[in-house]
Amino acid sequence: MNGRKVVDILLVEDDAGDVELTREGLAAGKMFVNMHTVDDGIKALRYLRREEPYADAVRPDIILLDLNMPRMDGRETLKEIKSDERLRSIPVVVLTTSESETDIFKSYDLGASCYISKPVGFDDFLKVVRSLEDFWFTVVKMPSKD
């Protein structure tokens, strides 16, 4: 892996285009990223709790969470993650199209580690993804995995 640090990221995102942009942005980074994806909050909780069909899931170093998804949205998912003693230490980055002050306040109130509005343009989106990697895996001290 050419000396790059290995990190596991759970991306909770229902937009296939945003999944691919995130994958591209992280692939060009300094880290070797194992990106796992699910497309709604119910699947995210099953993944994190290692319930079927995710019994062999790896605990992520960080969660990238969209707010607006079907079945269980990001707000409900964030609330569940942060109320679960086994999961609450995992940093959750809200990465969403919403710029609503209500969504921003609510996300932090529920325990989000940070809130980022997705840029519209391709290049700007890639810059945001790369800056996430630089900050979370170069600057921040992360807890050890279980």
CATH code at position 76: 3.40.50.2300
Domain for residue 41, yes or no?
A: yes
Domain that holds residue 119: 6-138
Domain for residue 143, yes or no?
A: no
Say what the pTM is.
0.87
C-beta separation of 30 from 138 below 8 A: yes
Total of domains in the chain: 1
Q: Share the mean pLDDT of the chain.
A: 87
According to DSSP, the β-strands at 32-38 and 62-65 are unpaired
Domain for residue 144, yes or no?
A: no
Domain for residue 32, yes or no?
A: yes
- Give 144's pLDDT tier (boundaries 50, 70, 90): low
- Cα-only R_g, the chain: 14
Domain for residue 29, yes or no?
A: yes
According to DSSP, the β-strands at 92-96 and 62-65 are parallel
* pLDDT, tens only, 81-138: 999 999 999 999 999 888 999 999 999 999 999 998 887 777 787 777 777 777 776 6
pLDDT of 143: 64
